[in-house]
């Protein structure tokens, strides 16, 4: 007749105590099923924390002893800091890439015909101003003389506007063009060239093809990187990225408004590029938003297609973060 310890007998009959839930990736050692989301119990006989695999019924111990001691937390902090730094760099890089492609659209937006039109208008004005410097031979008229930057003395008729004298004194052809541009009504120039459609080259919008592809890919990356963000949070992050790209766009925009152009091509770009830059940045927000919203579903589909069942379980966070069941083996 065997003797049974009454304490052990009570422990064997005691129910298992629910303690917590597995929140990280932990694979069953027998079948490879991911145990994330499974309940953790305290086994009454040995007082151990265990979890049961719902696929094969195997018992898995969840009690682990750290092998690195306090250095485990230190390395975790270092890795977390590096990951945050990487995300900051990619954030600034994402905004910079979208700004650069939008800037290229604006730079290529001016038609060659518009540049030629500006140059023709300038030449006509230059000829008129050269004719205005002819001596006035009317009786009683008093002519004045102006020394140009090159040292040539030119006789001006009475009543010559002061802008013309400044124009002649500056001497350089580039300076003359800048003077003419500062006195010009830009809206009248665009209307004279045929309107907005006549000055914008539609081939510049071909840059929207690489802009769409790059913005979508970057959006997919951010949709996967920001796992804890829901749809609203992801769209807010899109706004942050586009706002940063807008800050980048302020630099050339302020230069366009503060510095007068010296060439017809730079003058044409000065009119066409700013609105195209703003329009391209606004358009880039569309594929970027689509990317952040479909990034995780697309990643899950690729994982199902490309990875074997056991490897899918290690990436189950892509499922559980959106409330889906993890992939089964």
User: Which residues make beta-bridge pairs with 40?
Assistant: 20
Neighbours of 191 (CB within 10 A): 13
Residue whose C-alpha is closest to residue 111's, from 312, 309, 268: 268
**Mean pLDDT split into 10-residue runs, the chain, 329 residues:** 48 64 75 78 77 81 59 80 94 96 90 86 77 48 44 50 51 70 85 86 92 97 91 94 95 82 84 92 97 94 85 81 77
Consecutive H or E run containing 20: strand 17-21
What is the pLDDT, as a whole number, of residue 146?
Answer: 45
Q: Angle formed by the axes of helices 173-182 and 162-170, to 10°?
A: 150
Neighbours of 2 (CB within 10 A): 3
Helix (H, G, I), strand (E, B) or coil at 53: coil
What is the pLDDT, as a whole number, of residue 236?
Answer: 95
What is the pLDDT, as a whole number, of residue 254?
Answer: 85
Give every CB contact of residue 211 below 8 A, 6+ residues apart in sequence: 98, 101, 102, 105, 280, 283, 284, 287
Structure tokens at 63: 């009690």
163, 146 Cβ separation under 8 angstroms: no
What is the pLDDT, as a whole number, of residue 313?
Answer: 75
Give every CB contact of residue 288 below 8 A, 6+ residues apart in sequence: 98, 215, 216, 218, 219, 238, 241, 242
62, 22 Cβ separation under 8 angstroms: yes
Structure tokens at 105: 């659209």
What is the pLDDT, as a whole number, of residue 84?
Answer: 92
Place of tokens 């009543």: 159
What is the pLDDT, as a whole number, of residue 280?
Answer: 96
């Amino acid at each position: 007749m065997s003797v049974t310890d009454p304490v052990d007998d009570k422990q064997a009959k005691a129910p298992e105590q629910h303690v917590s839930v597995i929140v990280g990736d932990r694979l069953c050692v027998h079948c490879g099923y991911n145990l994330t989301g499974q309940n953790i119990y305290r086994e009454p006989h040995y007082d151990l924390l265990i979890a049961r695999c719902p696929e094969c019924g195997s018992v898995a111990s969840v009690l682990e002893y750290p092998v690195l001691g306090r250095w485990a937390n230190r390395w975790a902090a270092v890795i977390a800091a590096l990951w945050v730094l990487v995300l900051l760099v990619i954030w600034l890089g994402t905004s910079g890439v979208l700004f650069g492609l939008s800037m290229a659209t604006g730079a290529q937006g001016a038609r060659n015909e518009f540049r030629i039109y500006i140059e023709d208008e300038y030449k006509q004005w230059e000829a008129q101003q050269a004719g205005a410097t002819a001596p006035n031979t009317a009786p009683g008229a008093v002519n004045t003389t102006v020394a140009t930057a090159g040292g040539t003395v030119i006789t001006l008729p009475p009543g010559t506007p002061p802008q013309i004298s400044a124009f002649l004194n500056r001497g350089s052809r580039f300076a003359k063009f800048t003077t003419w541009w500062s006195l010009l009504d830009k809206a009248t120039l665009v209307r004279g060239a045929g309107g907005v459609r006549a000055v914008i080259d539609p081939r510049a919008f071909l840059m929207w093809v690489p802009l769409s592809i790059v913005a979508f890919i970057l959006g997919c990356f951010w949709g996967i990187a920001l796992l804890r963000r829901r749809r609203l949070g992801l769209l807010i992050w899109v706004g942050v990225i586009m706002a940063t790209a807008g800050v980048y766009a302020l630099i050339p925009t302020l230069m366009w408004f503060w510095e007068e152009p010296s060439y017809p091509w730079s003058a044409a770009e000065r009119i066409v590029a700013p609105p195209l830059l703003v329009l391209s940045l606004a358009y880039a927000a569309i594929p970027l938003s689509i990317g952040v919203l479909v990034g995780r579903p697309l990643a899950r589909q690729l994982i199902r297609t490309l990875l074997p069942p056991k490897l899918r379980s290690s990436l189950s966070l892509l499922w559980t973060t959106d409330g889906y069941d993890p992939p089964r083996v």
